[in-house]
Amino acid sequence: QVQLVESGGGLVQAGGSLRLSCAASGRTFSSYAMGWFRQAPGKEREFVGAIRWSGGSTYYAVSVKGRFTISRDNAKNTVYLQMNSLKPEDTAVYYCAAIRSATVVVPATPSRYDYWGQGTQVTVSS
């Protein structure tokens, strides 16, 4: 069983930055992809971005591309979501997730992912 724990959420002003962390334990992730999702009140869970554990290729939703950056630390089994130029529209609970394999295309559909963290709240004030 894979466990994922997010941290780093908080309250920031518009234009500010936050870095979220997702620490993984329980298995190695050589063939995994790690995704970030967010869910605002009354909204569906939406894809933010993802990274392939092997090779480190990244993928982003158009709404965050250029502002958010995903990276990984192999030694710590941790992925990061660096969020810059935050907007009030970014306010949501942010989740990390893991999919066991994504051979061709890393999916943006939440139901495709196998493991989920508990989420961390990000609030951006105007």
Residues 22-81 have pLDDT tens digits of: 999 987 667 789 999 999 999 999 999 999 988 899 999 999 999 999 999 988 999 999
Task: Report d(CA 2, CA 90) in Å as an integer.
Answer: 27
Of 53, 1, 50, 5, the residue nearest 29 (C-alpha): 53
Looking at residue 74, its pLDDT comes to 86
pLDDT band at 119 (very low <50, low <70, confident <90, very high): very high
Classify burial at 89, counting beta carbons within 10 Å of its beta carbon; exposed 0-12, middle 13-18, buried 19 or more. Answer: exposed
Looking at residue 78, its pLDDT comes to 94
In contact, 6 and 36? CB cutoff 8 Å = no
